[in-house]
Structure 1
Amino acid sequence: MASQVSMGAMMTCTFGVAPSTLVVLPKNKVLAEGPPAANIMDHIPIVNIPPFGMCNSMANPMVAAATAAALGALTPMPCIPVTSAPWVTGAPTVLLGNMPALDNLSKCLCNWGGAIAFTTAGTIKTMIP
């Protein structure tokens, strides 16, 4: 069973080197066990999805340039998430702010090829059917 995601949920990126925590602004006016609850539109880079330390994706132009300058040795560069699409799929039967609620099974894709997923939901008791 899926859990509702709220502010402080831990995330990882397949090309990031460190975990990050989701930031949810209280615009939906719904709290889940204290902190604001998230919906699928909480995918804005830096605002909702902070950096994951360093990026290892060769699709990232900064990593590609640094790797070329190092004569082909993979050179990670600072992560700057570029998430242009919302989280997929969310919970279509539960709406927050007229959008599906975000559950811990959802994924968000970075334009540099990374898949962002949750390791913890930020809630313990709030389950989504």
Structure 2
Amino acid sequence: MLNVLPVNRTLTNNLPAANLSDHIPLVNILPFGLCQSMANPTVAAATAAALGALTPMPCVPATASPWIPGGPATVLLGNVPALDANGTLMCTWGGVIKIVAPGQVQMLIP
């Protein structure tokens, strides 16, 4: 789940809207799932301890850089482009984080 702090004071559907800077590990991105990347030191150590058998470890995101926009950055929140449902976030250990279920959807009214 993406946690968005209300620092930009922009609400959509009564929830804080995210921008590309909302990528801080353990603040915006909480641990989730199991990491299988051998680039992750905890996975490498657990795998070595298991005599080479891949041993996934709990994911603790290492997201050092902002989200990559999924489209044109035309809407700004706090002087930073807004995050849309097509944004991606790279993990230092080689994974990619994507939006699976956006908090809001566009509805076309006939």
TM-score by length of 2: 0.91
In structure 2, distance between residues paired with 1:126 and 1:47: 30
In structure 1, distance between residues paired with 2:107 and 2:33: 30
Q: Which amino acid aligns with 1:88?
A: I
Percent identity, aligned pairs only, is 60
Matched, 1:59 2:20: no
Alpha-carbon shift at residue 56 of structure 1 (Å): 1.1
In structure 2, distance between residues paired with 1:59 and 1:126: 41
Secondary structure in 2 matching 1:119: coil
In structure 2, distance between residues paired with 1:66 and 1:39: 35
Q: Provide runs of 4+ in structure 1 moved above 6 Å.
A: none
Alpha-carbon shift at residue 55 of structure 1 (Å): 1.2
Matched, 1:117 2:98: yes
Using CA pairs under 8 Å that are at least 6 residues apart, name the structure with larger relative contact order, 1 or 2: 1
In structure 1, distance between residues paired with 2:34 and 2:50: 17
Matched, 1:72 2:78: no
Matches within 5 A, 1:79-98: 79-89=59-69, 91-98=72-79
Report the structure number with the largest CA radius of gyration.
2
Alpha-carbon shift at residue 126 of structure 1 (Å): 7.4
Give the number of equivalent residue pairs.
107
Q: Structure 2: which 5+ residue stretches go unaligned?
A: none
Q: Structure 1: which 5+ residue stretches go unaligned?
A: 1-20
